[in-house]
Amino acid sequence: MLARYEKLIAAGELQPDPDQRRAAERLGRLAKELEADAPGGLLAQLFNRKPQKPRGVYMWGGVGRGKSMLMDLFVSALQIEQKRRVHFHEFMLEVDVLLHKERRGKHEGAIGRVARRIARDVRCLAFDEMVVTNTADAAIMARLFTALIVDEGITVVTTSNRPPQDLYKDGINRSLFTPFIDLILAELDVVPLNGPTDYRLDRLGDLKTWHAPMGDAATAQVREAFFRLTDYAPEDAANVPTGELALGGGRTLHVPKSLKGVAVFSFKRLCMEDRGAADYLAIARTYHTVIVVGIPQMGPENRNEAIRFTKLIDALYENNVKLFVTAAAVPEALYTKGDGAFEFDRTVSRLKEMQSADYMARGHGKAG
């Protein structure tokens, strides 16, 4: 793990960063501990013992500090089969489905049974972007993760934009959540990556976020933003991964391009299909950056599309999601006539703010 990080520094692909190095060293030690205690590992062979549970790691810091990059290195370097990397929001949706199935029978002990089911194939759970905004999730997290970490011996590694003490800050019934914070502090090493440099913004350089009118030039700009944000090789563009976003209730949304917290959608898929605020909230919680292509000018006949677009922007704005677009016009000219055109001015105001340097520097997720 550390050798890979140092190789990237030597190659000039990363800048030397003391916080990143400390995190790389800690993750490297964790990888060795997990590998040594794996079935067939050195310690397992020497002492003929069951795998132990090393302390996990909680990496937190602002946008662009290298958390996802370090998680990439850790997961790829970790030489055990029983590992899983998943976005935290996606994981909690899966837990919700499993709990629903378990509670069809006996209610008591459902969380423990779900934890045992997860632990069958996993010794290390790696989460991207731990953020807690859902009251139902907050209420069960202490019990769920106590079962996973303490009872089942799973090692957790996670990234977050906030220190543990600020998770679910000012949330409803936060007293139910605070035992989870105590658990994090007891079972995971907290590693800050909160230096002064936002490497993500550095990578974007002078790229703008709003590109109008539509055409080859606009497409090239958002394409460039995607590759800079994900470190994906442009020459391999045909093989960018897709995704399936769980929306709840067994519904999913196909994400044409999905990589490292960045998603690409068409306006048609997001606003011309029957979608509601919950769908947009799922997108906003899952992705730190969303690229929307093909936003048209809208008139009275596009009332429904304009309403959905407003709901989309509200969800993205309230969760500090970065937005890149190709559009037929500037925000002020998108929807000037039709039902709700006057109220659309609020959306225009948000779209303009979302282009500002101050907005771009915010951490992903709701404040508090």
Average pLDDT, the chain: 89
Distance CA 5, CA 193 (A): 15
pLDDT digits (tens, 9 = 90+) for 312-330: 999 999 999 999 999 999 9
Q: Domain extents for the chain?
A: 2-192, 199-360
Asked if omega into 296 is within 30° of 0 (cis), the reply is no
199-360 folds as Rossmann fold (3.40.50)
Judged against a pLDDT cut of 60, whether residue 221 lies above it is answered with yes
Judged against a pLDDT cut of 80, whether residue 120 lies above it is answered with yes
Return the higher-pLDDT residue of 332 and 64: 332
How many CB atoms neighbour CB 130 within 10 A?
Answer: 24
Judged against a pLDDT cut of 80, whether residue 108 lies above it is answered with no
Backbone angles phi, psi at 279, to 5 degrees: -65, -45
Classify strands 257-259 and 262-266 as parallel, antiparallel or unpaired: antiparallel
Return the higher-pLDDT residue of 54 and 169: 54
Q: Do the first three CATH levels of 2-192 and 199-360 match, i.e. the same topology?
A: yes
pLDDT digits (tens, 9 = 90+) for 180-207: 999 999 999 999 997 767 777 777 878 8
pLDDT digits (tens, 9 = 90+) for 130-162: 988 788 889 999 999 999 999 999 999 999 988
Domain 2-192: CATH class, spelled out: alpha beta
Name residue, tokens 């997720």. Answer: 365
- For helices 135-145 and 88-102, the axis angle rounded to 10 degrees is 80
Contact 326, 214 (CB under 8 A): yes
Contact 83, 54 (CB under 8 A): no
Contact 178, 166 (CB under 8 A): no
Judged against a pLDDT cut of 80, whether residue 337 lies above it is answered with yes
Kindly state the percentage of the chain with pLDDT values over 90: 62
- Give the pLDDT of residue 41: 55
**Looking at the chain, how many residues does it have?**
368
Longest distance between any two alpha carbons in the chain, whole Å: 76
- Give the pLDDT of residue 347: 96
Distance CA 64, CA 59 (A): 13
pLDDT digits (tens, 9 = 90+) for 38-97: 665 555 555 555 557 899 999 998 777 889 889 999 999 999 999 999 988 889 989 988
Return the higher-pLDDT residue of 368 and 24: 24
Q: What is the mean pLDDT of residues 286-292?
A: 93
Please tell me the pTM assigned to this model.
0.69
